[in-house]
Amino acid sequence: MSEQTQERESLFSAKNRKLISNAIGKDNPITVQVLGICSALAVTAKLEPAIVMSISVLFVLGIGNVVISLLRNTIPQRIRIIVQLVVIAALVILVDQVLKAFAYEVSKQLSVFVGLIITNCIIMGRFEAFSMANKPWPSFLDGVGNSIGYGLILVIIAFFRELFGSGTILGWNVFETIGLYDIGYVNNGLMILPPMALIATGIIIWVQRSRNPELIKD
Amino acid sequence: MQELLNIFVKSIFIDNMVFAYFLGMCSYIAVSKTVKTSVGLGLAVIFVLGITVPIGYLMNEFLLKPGALVWLDSEFIDVDLSFLSFIMFIAVIASMVQLVEMIVEKFSPALYASLGIFLPLIAVNCAILGGSLFMQEREYQSLAQATSFALGSGLGWFLAIVGIAAIREKIKYSNVPGPLKGIGITFIITGLMGIAFMSFLGIKL
C-alpha cells in the first residue's frame, strides 16, 4: 500500500521541491552546514572560475548521488568510504578531462581545485547523510539543490570580489564604462587577496542569520 | 640543504595551507573549539601529510608522469597515466590512513587515544589531497624536497588551527553580535589572520 502511494507521488511534490529550496536557503551547505568551504573560497577571485566550479560540483554531486543511491543496498558498511571515494574520483576525472579539453584556460586557473572536489566535504556529506538512505530521484534532487546552494554563495562572493577588486564582471569592464575611474575611483586590490573571501563569507553568514534568527546557534 | 630549508619555511608561512589556499577548512572550522583537540588534529595532519606526500611523489615519478614507466621497458616512453593521479592519490591516502591507524593503535595506545577519533576524518581532509596535488603541480625535484614541503605545510596547518582555537576559547567571553556568533566570527578572524600572514610575502631565504 505504502509502496503504491509512493509511486503515485508526483515527481515534483511539495516534499521533493523542499529538498531543493531548503538546500538553497535555510539548510545551505556553505553557510549553515559549513561544508565544502575548502574549494569554495579559493576560486572566487573571478566570476568565471566560480561558475565553472559550481557547474562541476553540480555534475559530480547530481550524478554521484544517483549512483550511490542505486548502490546503497550493495555497499558493505565497513568499506563504504572507499567505495564513495572511488565513485567521486571517477566522476571528477571526467570533469577534469572535459575541462582540459574544452576550457583549458579556466582549468589552469582552477589548478588543483578541480581535483579537490574529491575531498569536498559537501559531496561526502550528502552521500553519507542522504543518498545512502534514499531513493535515486530524491537523491538527485538533493544533489542538485545542494550544489545550487553552493554555487549561489560562490557566485555572490565572486561577483563582489571581481566587481570591486578588478572593476569587471565576467571580464567586461563595468567601472570604466560608467566612468567611475574618471572621478578618481581606484580598484580595491584587497578584494582579490585570499583573506577577503573569508571575510565576505563571514558577512554573508551574518546577513543570513540576521534575517533567520532561528539559525543562530551557540 | 638551503633549498630544502627554503621550501620548508615557504610552505609554513607564505604558502600556508589555510590562509593562502583554504585547504582543510571544514575540519579547521569544525574542530577548532578547544586548543586540546585542535593540537591532536594538527599533529595527525602533519603525520599523515609526512607519509602520503612522499609516497605520492614516488608514484608520480615512477608510475604517473608522462614517460614515467621507462624503468620497466623503453617502449613505454609514450605512456601518460597522469589522468589517473586523482584516483591513485585518494586510494593511497585512504589506505595509508587506515594503515597508520592500525599501526598507531598497536604500538602506541597513548598516541592512539589522543589522535584516535581524528585519524579516520583525515582521509577526507582537503589539506592532505591538496598536499599531493600541489606536490605534483609544482614539480619538486627530489624526494627530500617533497618531504620538506609536506612537513612544512603540515606544520603551517597545525599553527593555523591551534591559533584559531586559542582565539575562539577567548572570544567566548566577548560580546559578539548574535548572528555572527560561532562560525561567522570564525570566518572573519581567519580572514584577519590571513592578512597578518600575508606580511610574510616576499621573504627570500
**DSSP one-letter string for A101-128:** HH-HHHHHHHGGGTGGGTT-HHHHHHII
Q: Quick one: pLDDT band at residue B117, thresholds 50, 70, 90?
A: low
> For residue A37, which residues of chain B lie inside 8 Å, CB to CB?
22, 25-26, 29
Mean pLDDT to the nearest integer, A11-37? 76
How many Cβ pairs within 8 Å bridge chains A and B?
A: 143
Take residue B3 and report the three cell numbers written for it: 633549498
Q: What is the pLDDT of residues B93-106, one digit of tens each?
A: 888 887 877 877 88
Mutate: best of A97, A110, A118, A212, partner B, most B CBs <10 A: A118
- Report the residue from A90, A201, A216 with minimal CB separation from B187: A201
> For residue A85, which residues of chain B lie inside 8 Å, CB to CB?
90-91, 94, 123-124
Per-residue pLDDT at A1: 35
Buried-state track B17-52, b at ≥16 Cβ within 10 A, e below 16 = bbbbbbbbbbbbbebbbebebbebbbbbbbbbbbbb
Residue B14 pLDDT > 60: yes
Per-residue pLDDT at B151: 93
Per-residue pLDDT at B95: 82
Question: A83 at the B interface (CB within 8 A)?
Answer: no
Q: How many CA atoms lie within 13 A of A70 on its CB side?
A: 7
Per-residue pLDDT at B153: 92
Per-residue pLDDT at A37: 78
Per-residue pLDDT at B149: 92
Take residue B74 and report the three cell numbers written for it: 623503453
Q: What is the pLDDT of residues A154-213, one digit of tens each?
A: 898 888 888 888 878 877 787 777 777 777 777 787 888 888 888 888 888 888 888 877
**Cα–Cα distance measured from residue A123 to residue A64, given in angstroms and rounded to the nearest whole number:** 8
Between helix B126-138 and helix B143-171 the angle, nearest 10°, is: 140
Q: Quick one: pLDDT band at residue A2, thresholds 50, 70, 90?
A: very low
Per-residue pLDDT at A218: 53
- Report the residue from A85, A97, A202 with minimal CB separation from B187: A202
Residue B67, Cβ density class (10 Å: 0-12 exposed, 13-18 middle, ≥19 buried): exposed
- The answer to whether position A24 is within a domain reads no
- The answer to whether position A218 is within a domain reads no
- The answer to whether position A198 is within a domain reads yes
DSSP collapsed to 3 states, B121-172: HHCCCHHHHHHHHHHHHHCCCCHHHHHHHHHHHHHHHHHHHHHHHHHHHHHC
Per-residue pLDDT at B185: 87
Phi/psi at A9 (5° precision): -60, 130
In contact, A46 and A109? CB cutoff 8 Å? yes
Residue B89 pLDDT > 80: yes
pTM: 0.81
Q: What is the pLDDT of residues A111-152, one digit of tens each?
A: 777 877 887 778 888 888 888 888 888 888 888 888 888 888
- CA B64 to chain centroid: 21
Give the residue from A125, A84, A92 showing the smallest Cα distance to A110: A92
Nearest chain B residue to A88, by CA: B87
Domain that holds residue A54: 33-213
Q: What is the pLDDT of residues A26-48, one digit of tens each?
A: 778 777 777 777 777 778 888 88
Give the residue from B147, B167, B165 showing the smallest Cα distance to B157: B165
> For residue B137, which residues of chain A lie inside 8 Å, CB to CB?
111-112
- The answer to whether position A195 is within a domain reads yes
Are B86 and A96 a contacting pair at CB < 8 A? yes
Residue B166 pLDDT > 90: yes
Domain count, chain A: 1
**Cα–Cα distance measured from residue A92 to residue B58, given in angstroms and rounded to the nearest whole number:** 23
Q: Quick one: pLDDT band at residue B147, thresholds 50, 70, 90?
A: very high
Q: What is the pLDDT of residues A50-61, one digit of tens each?
A: 888 888 889 998
- The answer to whether position A151 is within a domain reads yes
Q: Distance, in angstroms, between A209 CA and closest chain B CA?
A: 5
Mean pLDDT to the nearest integer, B5-31? 84
- The answer to whether position A123 is within a domain reads yes
Mean pLDDT to the nearest integer, B158-169? 91
- The answer to whether position A94 is within a domain reads yes
> For residue B129, which residues of chain A lie inside 8 Å, CB to CB?
115-116, 118-119
Most confident of A180-184, B30-34, B188-192: B188-192
Per-residue pLDDT at A6: 46
Under 8 Å CB-to-CB from A183, ≥6 apart: which residues?
none
**Cα–Cα distance measured from residue B19 to residue A11, given in angstroms and rounded to the nearest whole number:** 44
Per-residue pLDDT at A31: 77
- The answer to whether position A17 is within a domain reads no
Percent of chain B with pLDDT over 90: 12
Question: A120 at the B interface (CB within 8 A)?
Answer: yes
Most confident of A146-155, B26-35, B112-121: A146-155
